[in-house]
Structure 1
Amino acid sequence: MAARSGPSPSKRSKTSSGQPRIEQFFHVAGAVKVDHLPSGSLAQVAGPVEIIDVDLFEDLDAFAPSRIKEAQESIDYPLTLRRQEIGVTSSGSGSTAPSFSPLDVDPLLYDPESQKWSFSATPYALLSHAFVTLARTRSRNVILNCLTNVLRTILVKDPNSLLPALYLLSNSLGPPYESVELGIGPSVISQAIQQISGLSNVALKKLGNSLGDPGDVAFAAKSKVRTLVPHAPLLIPGVYKVLLDISQMKGSGATKQKQNLVSKLLLSAHGEDTRYLVRTLSQNLRVGAVRTSMLVALARAVSLTPPKEHAGVDSNYYVSTQIRLASRQPGGDSVNALKSELVATFTQAEKLLRRVYVKHPSYEHIATGILTVGLGGLENAVALTLGIPLHPTLGSPMRSLDQIYNLLGDQPFSAEFKYDGQRAQIHGMVGEDGGISVKIFSRHLEDMTSKYPDIIALVEHLLDSSPTLTSFILDSEIVAIDPETDKVKSFQELSNRARKNVQLTDIRIAVGVYAFDVMYLNGQSLLEEPFRKRRGVLRSFFLPFTPERSGVARLSHVESCESAAGREAIIEFWEKAVGSSCEGLMIKLLDGNENIAIEDIPKKKTKSRRKPLPATYEPDKRTAAWLKLKKDYVDGIGDSFDLVPIGAWHGSGRKAEWWSPVLLALWDPESGQFVAICKCMSGFTDAFYKSLNERYSLTESPGMCSKISQWECSTGGYRPDVYFKPSEVWEIRGADITLSPISVAARGNASSDRGLSIRFPRFIRAREDKSLEQASNPDFLVRVWKNQQSRGTGKEGNDEGDLLDVDLSDQDAASEVDSDDLD
Structure 2
Amino acid sequence: MISVTTTLTGFSFIYFLYSRIPYAMLCKTFERCEATTKRLAITEYLVQLFLQAIKLTPSGLLELLYMCINKLCPDYEGLEMGVGESFLIKAIVSSTGRNIKNIKAEYRSTGDLGTVAMNSKGSQGTLSMPKPLTVHQVFQTLKDLSQITGNQSQKKKIDKINSLLVQCRGSEAKYLIRQLEGKLRIGLAEQTVLSALAQSIVLSKPETSKLSQEKIEQALADAAAIVKSVYNQLPCYDMIVPALLEYSIKDFPDHCNMRPGIPLKPMLAHPTKSLTEILDRFEDRKFTCEFKYDGERAQIHLLPNGKSMVYSRNSENMSDRYPDIMSKLANWVMPTTSSFILDCEAVAWDKENKQILPFQVLSTRKRKDVKEEDIKVQVVVFAFDCLYLNGESLLRLPLEERREKLRSAFKETENEFYFARQMDSNNIDDIQVFLDVSIENNCEGLMVKLFDGEEASYEPSKRSRNWLKVKKDYLSGIGDSMDLVVIGAFYGRGKRTSVYGAFLLACYDPETEEYQTICKIGTGFSEEDLLNHYNALKGHVIEAPKRFYCLGENPVKPDVWFEPVKVWEVLCADLSISPRYMAAVGKVDASKGISLRFPRFIRVRDDKGPEDSTSSEQVMTFYYNQANSSKGKGDDMDY
TM-score (norm 1): 0.72
Query: Could you tell me which amino acid in structure 1 is paired with residue 15 of structure 2?
Result: W
Describe the shift of the 1:228–1:138 C-alpha distance in structure 2 as closer, same or farther (beyond 3 A).
same
| 1:758 aligned onto 2:599 | no
| 1:117 aligned onto 2:6 | no
Unaligned runs of 5+ in 1: 1-37, 39-97, 104-109, 313-318, 324-337, 547-552, 594-613, 800-823
Match of 2:242 in 1: 368
Equivalent of 1:706 in 543, 550, 554: 543
Cα displacement (A) at 1:461: 3.4
Alignment of 1:306-325 (within 5 A): 306=205, 311-312=206-207, 319-323=208-212
Match of 1:541 in 2: 409
Query: Could you tell me which amino acid in structure 2 is paired with residue 354 of structure 1?
Result: K
Give, in whole Å, the separation in 2 of the partners of 1:293 and 1:221: 32
Asked whether the equivalents of residues 441 and 447 of structure 1 are also in contact (C-alpha less than 8 Å), the reply is yes
Match of 1:602 in 2: none
Match of 1:30 in 2: none
Equivalent of 1:412 in 270, 273, 286: 286
| 1:396 aligned onto 2:270 | yes
Match of 1:604 in 2: none
Give, in whole Å, the separation in 1 of the partners of 2:570 and 2:417: 32
| 1:617 aligned onto 2:479 | no
Q: For residue 563 of structure 1, give the secondary structure of its aligned residue in structure 2.
A: coil
Match of 1:642 in 2: 483
Describe the shift of the 1:220–1:755 C-alpha distance in structure 2 as closer, same or farther (beyond 3 A).
closer
| 1:485 aligned onto 2:353 | yes
Asked whether the equivalents of residues 8 and 49 of structure 2 are also in contact (C-alpha less than 8 Å), the reply is no
Match of 1:199 in 2: 98
Give, in whole Å, the separation in 2 of the partners of 1:747 and 1:796: 22
Query: Could you tell me which amino acid in structure 2 is paired with residue 241 of structure 1?
Result: Q
Give, in whole Å, the separation in 1 of the partners of 2:509 and 2:284: 36
Equivalent of 1:560 in 412, 416, 422: 422
Give, in whole Å, the separation in 1 of the partners of 2:488 and 2:569: 16
Cα displacement (A) at 1:477: 0.7
Alignment of 1:626-705 (within 5 A): 626-648=467-489, 661-690=502-531, 692-693=533-534, 701=540, 704-705=541-542
Describe the shift of the 1:271–1:659 C-alpha distance in structure 2 as closer, same or farther (beyond 3 A).
farther
Match of 1:457 in 2: 327
Equivalent of 2:116 in 213, 217, 225: 217
Cα displacement (A) at 1:219: 1.8
Describe the shift of the 1:181–1:784 C-alpha distance in structure 2 as closer, same or farther (beyond 3 A).
closer
Alignment of 1:74-223 (within 5 A): 103=9, 115-118=13-16, 120-182=19-81, 184-223=83-122
Describe the shift of the 1:392–1:498 C-alpha distance in structure 2 as closer, same or farther (beyond 3 A).
same
Query: Could you tell me which amino acid in structure 2 is paired with residue 682 of structure 1?
Result: T
Asked whether the equivalents of residues 293 and 444 of structure 2 are also in contact (C-alpha less than 8 Å), the reply is yes
Measured against aligned partners, the alpha-carbon deviations of 1:139-176 in whole angstroms (never above 9, x if no partner) come to 22222222222222212221121111111111111111
Give, in whole Å, the separation in 1 of the partners of 2:595 and 2:457: 36
Asked whether the equivalents of residues 676 and 716 of structure 1 are also in contact (C-alpha less than 8 Å), the reply is no
Q: For residue 732 of structure 1, give the secondary structure of its aligned residue in structure 2.
A: strand
Q: For residue 297 of structure 1, give the secondary structure of its aligned residue in structure 2.
A: helix
Cα displacement (A) at 1:670: 3.3
Match of 2:366 in 1: 498
Asked whether the equivalents of residues 516 and 535 of structure 1 are also in contact (C-alpha less than 8 Å), the reply is yes
Measured against aligned partners, the alpha-carbon deviations of 1:776-809 in whole angstroms (never above 9, x if no partner) come to 234323332233223327988999xxxxxxxxxx
Measured against aligned partners, the alpha-carbon deviations of 1:295-340 in whole angstroms (never above 9, x if no partner) come to 112122222224xxxx43xxxxxx44343xxxxxxxxxxxxxx44x
Describe the shift of the 1:752–1:226 C-alpha distance in structure 2 as closer, same or farther (beyond 3 A).
closer
Query: Could you tell me which amino acid in structure 1 is paired with residue 320 of structure 2?
Result: S
Describe the shift of the 1:240–1:752 C-alpha distance in structure 2 as closer, same or farther (beyond 3 A).
closer
Q: For residue 76 of structure 2, give the secondary structure of its aligned residue in structure 1.
A: coil
Query: Could you tell me which amino acid in structure 2 is paired with residue 782 of structure 1?
Result: M
Match of 2:307 in 1: 437
Query: Could you tell me which amino acid in structure 1 is paired with residue 440 of structure 2?
Result: G
Give, in whole Å, the separation in 2 of the partners of 1:695 and 1:489: 24
Match of 1:267 in 2: 166
Query: Could you tell me which amino acid in structure 1 is paired with residue 510 of structure 2?
Result: P
Query: Could you tell me which amino acid in structure 2 is paired with residue 117 of structure 1?
Result: Y
Query: Could you tell me which amino acid in structure 1 is paired with residue 385 of structure 2?
Result: D
Alignment of 1:29-48 (within 5 A): none
Describe the shift of the 1:251–1:144 C-alpha distance in structure 2 as closer, same or farther (beyond 3 A).
same
Give, in whole Å, the separation in 2 of the partners of 1:368 and 1:439: 26
Cα displacement (A) at 1:570: 2.6
Q: For residue 515 of structure 2, give the secondary structure of its aligned residue in structure 1.
A: strand
Measured against aligned partners, the alpha-carbon deviations of 1:388-415 in whole angstroms (never above 9, x if no partner) come to 0011111111112111012112322111
Q: For residue 320 of structure 2, give the secondary structure of its aligned residue in structure 1.
A: helix
Cα displacement (A) at 1:649: 5.1
Describe the shift of the 1:217–1:695 C-alpha distance in structure 2 as closer, same or farther (beyond 3 A).
farther
| 1:780 aligned onto 2:627 | no
Query: Could you tell me which amino acid in structure 2 is paired with residue 644 of structure 1?
Result: V
Query: Could you tell me which amino acid in structure 2 is paired with residue 479 of structure 1?
Result: V
Describe the shift of the 1:491–1:170 C-alpha distance in structure 2 as closer, same or farther (beyond 3 A).
same
Equivalent of 1:583 in 435, 440, 444: 444
Q: For residue 456 of structure 2, give the secondary structure of its aligned residue in structure 1.
A: coil
Give, in whole Å, the separation in 2 of the partners of 1:410 and 1:561: 17
Cα displacement (A) at 1:202: 4.1
Cα displacement (A) at 1:291: 1.4
Measured against aligned partners, the alpha-carbon deviations of 1:497-547 in whole angstroms (never above 9, x if no partner) come to 21123222112222111111101111111111111111011111211113x
Query: Could you tell me which amino acid in structure 2 is paired with residue 618 of structure 1?
Result: E
Query: Could you tell me which amino acid in structure 2 is paired with residue 393 of structure 1?
Result: M
Q: For residue 677 of structure 1, give the secondary structure of its aligned residue in structure 2.
A: strand
Asked whether the equivalents of residues 380 and 417 of structure 2 are also in contact (C-alpha less than 8 Å), the reply is yes
Query: Could you tell me which amino acid in structure 2 is paired with residue 251 of structure 1?
Result: G
Cα displacement (A) at 1:734: 1.3
Give, in whole Å, the separation in 2 of the partners of 1:127 and 1:226: 24
Match of 2:609 in 1: 771
Give, in whole Å, the separation in 2 of the partners of 1:345 and 1:569: 49
Alignment of 1:33-72 (within 5 A): none
Give, in whole Å, the separation in 2 of the partners of 1:790 and 1:623: 20
Describe the shift of the 1:462–1:219 C-alpha distance in structure 2 as closer, same or farther (beyond 3 A).
same
Asked whether the equivalents of residues 179 and 446 of structure 1 are also in contact (C-alpha less than 8 Å), the reply is yes
Give, in whole Å, the separation in 2 of the partners of 1:134 and 1:430: 44
Match of 1:574 in 2: 435
Q: For residue 286 of structure 1, give the secondary structure of its aligned residue in structure 2.
A: coil
Match of 1:285 in 2: 184
Cα displacement (A) at 1:658: 5.4
Measured against aligned partners, the alpha-carbon deviations of 1:29-48 in whole angstroms (never above 9, x if no partner) come to xxxxxxxxx9xxxxxxxxxx
- State which structure, 1 or 2, has the greater radius of gyration over its C-alpha atoms: 1
Asked whether the equivalents of residues 716 and 743 of structure 1 are also in contact (C-alpha less than 8 Å), the reply is no
TM-score (norm 2): 0.91
Percent same amino acid at aligned positions? 35
Give, in whole Å, the separation in 2 of the partners of 1:481 and 1:385: 30
Match of 1:447 in 2: 317
| 1:244 aligned onto 2:118 | no
Query: Could you tell me which amino acid in structure 1 is paired with residue 346 of structure 2?
Result: I
Unaligned runs of 5+ in 2: none
Number of aligned positions between the proteins: 633
State the Cα RMSD in Å.
2.9
Give, in whole Å, the separation in 2 of the partners of 1:758 and 1:249: 43
Asked whether the equivalents of residues 284 and 711 of structure 1 are also in contact (C-alpha less than 8 Å), the reply is no
Q: For residue 792 of structure 1, give the secondary structure of its aligned residue in structure 2.
A: helix
Asked whether the equivalents of residues 292 and 443 of structure 2 are also in contact (C-alpha less than 8 Å), the reply is yes
| 1:735 aligned onto 2:573 | yes
Q: For residue 226 of structure 1, give the secondary structure of its aligned residue in structure 2.
A: coil
Cα displacement (A) at 1:743: 3.9
Asked whether the equivalents of residues 115 and 153 of structure 1 are also in contact (C-alpha less than 8 Å), the reply is no
Give, in whole Å, the separation in 2 of the partners of 1:617 and 1:245: 38
